């Protein structure tokens, strides 16, 4: 069962400095469960921006129903 989340995140890569806070919806194959899933979301977002996972910081998220 997939789950969609509204996310707010910061990109720390030098290319995005000055306008680095973003928001958007991300879909996971199953609902989040703990801190490891937070890192999974950061990794997915990083791939979407062609960055390393440590260059994305998830600020907040909430599940969409």
Looking at residue 28, what is its pLDDT?
82
Confidence class for position 63, pLDDT limits 50, 70, 90: confident
What is the pTM (predicted TM-score) of this model? 0.77
Region 54-58: mean pLDDT is: 89
Three-class DSSP category at 30: coil
Amino acid 59: pLDDT: 92
Find out if CATH 3.10.20.10 is the number for domain 3-64.
yes
* Structural contact between residues 9 and 62, judged by C-beta atoms closer than 8 angstroms: no
**Token reading at 13:** 């890569």
* pLDDT on residue 9: 93
Q: Which residue has the higher pLDDT, 9 or 63?
A: 9
Q: What average pLDDT does this structure show over 15-32?
A: 80
């Amino acid at each position: 069962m997939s789950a969609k989340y509204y996310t707010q995140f910061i990109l720390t890569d030098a290319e995005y400095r000055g306008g680095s806070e973003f928001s958007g919806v991300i879909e996971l194959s199953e609902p989040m469960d703990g801190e490891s899933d937070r890192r999974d979301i950061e990794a997915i977002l990083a791939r979407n921006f062609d960055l390393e996972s440590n260059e994305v910081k998830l600020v907040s998220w909430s599940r969409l129903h």
